[in-house]
Amino acid sequence: MQRAAISDRRHETSDMREETLDKENLAKLEALGSEHVTGIIEEYAALCAPERIVVLTDSAEDKAYAKKRSLELGEEFPLAMQGHTVHFDGPADQGRDKAKTKVLVSGGVHMSAHVNVGERSECLEEVRELLRGSMNDREMLVAFYCLGPAHSPFSILAMQITDSPYVIHSANLLYRPGYEAFKSLGANGHFFHFIHSAGELDEGVSKHPDKKRIYIDIESNRVFAVNVQYAGNSMGLKKLALRLAIRKAVYEGWLCEHMFIMDARPEGKNRSTGKTSTAMVPGQKIVGDDIAYIRESEDGYAYAANSEQGIFGILEDVNPVDDALIWKTLTTPRQDLIFSNVLIAQDKPYWLGMGPEVKVPPEGKSWVGQWAQGMMDEEDKRVPFAHKNARYIISLSELENVDRALNDPRGVPVSGVIYGGRDADTSPPVVEALDWAHGVFMGCIIESETTAATIGAVGVKKHDPFANSDFLSVTLGSYIKNHFDFGSRLKHPPKVFTVNYFLKGEDGKFLNRKVDKKVWLAWMEGRVHGEFEAIETPVGFIPRYEDVRTLFKTVFGSDYAKEDYERQFSIRTAHFLARLDRMEETYKKEVGMPEEFGGELGKVRERLRTTYEKHGKEIISPFEL
């Protein structure tokens, strides 16, 4: 029976080649010399039944083909400005869908409560049925990429199979080419692979969002996505590959993080702070936007590389004041730039938070189809002209502040690591950990309010360890232990900081301006280089008033009041202790938690209690510490 099944499949794939692969595309495939690659393509061609298979190389012609086909098929539309296009996802497909995204596990395998799991055999059977015949009137596009700089310890090769040229066009902007690198893999080399189909379409939109499935098969280093179009779900190399890379990192002893990488350059200085999850700050050099691979070097330092070469960025509140550099990039002609889910009127894009100077037209085309001012939805709520999770895609090479180290195979040295949460009532704007182990603990206890990037209620506080919990594909215990172990091996571990730009006062208003992060970054950069003293608190080191007052004067030419400093940097002991209690209960449910976590929790709790007893009040001014 087994022999017959294998024989039948070979006959089926042979027919597939004759019917769907012309000589040119077959030659491209055979040039890779990989039976593993060929077998995967044959398997999904037989399942998805495309009209034609197109194998795409690293050539400029093949990259142009993806954009051309996307425009021809109406997946993208040209805009007035040179190089700019727009794409629209369906109203039910506007962000990551956690409920429909599952990590596939076999019986007996345990995962963290943060991981949405599915039984592997059942989910594979289900998604294969959803994919069956899904491409029967379309081209199957096959493209090859490299996550991380090419020819480096950071490199992970990946193959994307899709029926959406928009997905390939997007990936071409966001990821380094990998077709030539695949040639060195050999017959059975290992790589990630992703299978995507938009499914049955209705006026260009996935017709069955209820049958949306995003399945991460960790045993086979592959991802399935069907009945989806939003790039965060359809483009496997983004957050879906992040899950595969996290698992690979834990087993191999390096770090894969949901973080920004930048080269901080204070006024009059030329040096690097390394890696940070903070938003882009004018005047600094950018190495990475979203995902960082971090490895130990021979000299005992940590080095980081950007897994991507582009930005899949959120548009809301990008304006000339808050994000001047990105604003300039998005409003000038470019070689290639894709907007999504914005309002289009007279071939110009409009998004939320562009600033009072921009007058939004009363009607146009948007993520809901034709939009008009005053339009109401089924729940009698006003429909915004653009989605809160509207995006732009652009290559980092288009930015004037891109760092030349972006593609350095060695990566960049890491001097500081910053964890950020969205916390309205507890954490000061910036805190430095007492040491690496304390810094890992700080990463463990991050809580964040939900945003529009994830489908569901906005503004709900949730535990979000390392601001990375949505993307775990291993037990939380093994993920955390890997962090403790990684830093303990380093002769020169980076300093660790937490930032919180979302602290609010009793009136519900933010205590920080968005642009104040430039000051907090300057303080962290100075701490890395020993320029500032700090105040030791139960939860870590905080800035002295004199130092941040000077930085506000230097950076903004403005004063910084003692009252503002006191409100922002007071230690809210009751809130911190309550968080520790929540974390203790939460982590009791996790398997394999390292002893270091409990030790750090106990030390922080004791410091907070001692400080509270000494001062006799729940909110302690930094001037009293």
Q: Quick one: average pLDDT of 564-588? A: 96
What span, in angstroms and rounded, lies between the C-alpha atoms of 223 and 242? 11
Rounded alpha-carbon distances, angstroms, from residue 62 to 125, 177, 229: 33, 11, 22
Q: Which of 398, 426, 448 is the last residue of a domain?
A: 398
Mean pLDDT of 115-143: 96
Banded model confidence at residue 10, pLDDT cuts 50, 70, 90? very low
In a domain, 117, yes or no: yes
Could you report the per-residue pLDDT of 324-339, keeping only the tens digit for each?
Answer: 889 999 999 999 999 9
> Cα separation of 180 and 153, whole Å?
17
pLDDT value for 614: 95
pLDDT at 452 over 60: no
* Position 404 in a domain: no
Q: Are residues 394 and 476 in the same domain?
A: no
Is residue 1 domain-resident? no
Q: Given this model, what pLDDT does residue 469 score?
A: 86
User: Is the same domain home to 45 and 175?
Assistant: yes
The two tokens of residue 399 are 């930015």
The answer to whether residues 438 and 567 belong to one domain is yes
Q: So what's the pLDDT on residue 564? A: 96
User: Token pair of 297, please?
Assistant: 């070097």
Residue 4 inside a domain? The answer is: no
Whether residues 511 and 391 fall in one domain: no
At residue 9, does pLDDT exceed 60?
no
pLDDT for 71: 97
- What's the pLDDT at 286? 87
Measured distance CA(86)–CA(351) in Å, rounded: 12
* Residue 218 belongs to some domain of the structure: yes
Comparison of pLDDT for 289 and 121, the residue scoring more = 121
What pLDDT is stored for residue 477 in this prediction?
95
The amino acid at 175: Y
Per-residue pLDDT, 289? 83
Q: Place 15 in a pLDDT band, splitting at 50, 70 and 90.
A: low
Q: Are residues 376 and 278 in the same domain?
A: no
Last residue of a domain, one of 366, 398, 430: 398
148 phi-psi bin (left φ>0, alpha ψ -120 to 50, beta other): left
How does pLDDT run across 322-377, given as a tens digit for each residue? Answer: 888 899 999 999 999 999 999 999 999 999 999 999 999 999 999 999 999 999 99
Domain identity same for 130 and 192: yes
Residue 529 is part of a domain; what is its CATH number? 3.90.228.20
Distance from CA of residue 227 to its chain's centroid? Answer: 21
Please write the tens of the pLDDT for every residue from 488-497. 999 999 999 9
Q: Verify that 233 and 275 share a domain, yes or no.
A: no
Exposed e or buried b for every residue in 575-614, given b needs 16+ CB within 10 A?
ebbebbeebeebbeebeebbebbeebbeebbebbeebbee
The domain of 503 spans: 269-284+415-624
**356: exposed, middle or buried (Cβ count in 10 Å: 0-12, 13-18, 19+):** exposed
Q: What is the mean pLDDT of the chain?
A: 90
Q: Are residues 370 and 501 in the same domain?
A: no
Domain presence at residue 292 = no
Whether 473 and 571 share a structural domain: yes
DSSP single-letter state for residue 376: B
The predicted model gives 52-65 an average pLDDT of 98
Amino acid 229: pLDDT? 94
**pLDDT reading at 446 higher than 80:** yes
Q: Which residue has the higher pLDDT, 213 or 109?
A: 213
Q: What is the mean pLDDT of residues 463-470?
A: 88
Q: Could you tell me if 354 and 247 lie in one domain?
A: no
Reading the block at residue 265, the tokens are 């350059």
Mean pLDDT of the 548-564 span = 96
Torsion of CA 430, 304, 144, 213, to 10 degrees: -40
Please give the Cα distance from 143 to 492 (Å, whole number). 40
- Alpha-carbon distance of 131 to 197, in angstroms, equals 7
Residue 259 lies in a domain: no
In a domain, 109, yes or no: yes
- pLDDT at residue 19 above 90? no
Q: Tell me the pairing of strands 213-217 and 101-105.
A: parallel
As a whole-number percent, the residues of the chain with pLDDT over 70 amount to: 92
Say yes or no: 495 and 588 in one domain: yes
What does R_g of the chain's alpha carbons equal in angstroms?
25
pLDDT of residue 198: 96
pTM, whole model, 2 decimals? 0.90
**Mean pLDDT, to the nearest integer, of 596-625?**
96
232 has a pLDDT exceeding 50: yes
Q: What average pLDDT does range 55-73 have in this prediction?
A: 98
What percentage of the chain reaches a pLDDT higher than 90?
79
Regarding predicted confidence, which is higher, 516 or 187?
516
Q: Does one domain contain both 558 and 592? A: yes
Question: What pLDDT was estimated at residue 17?
Answer: 62
Instruction: Report the number of distinct structural domains present in the chain.
Output: 3
- Asked if 343 contacts 386 with a C-beta cutoff of 8 angstroms, the reply is yes
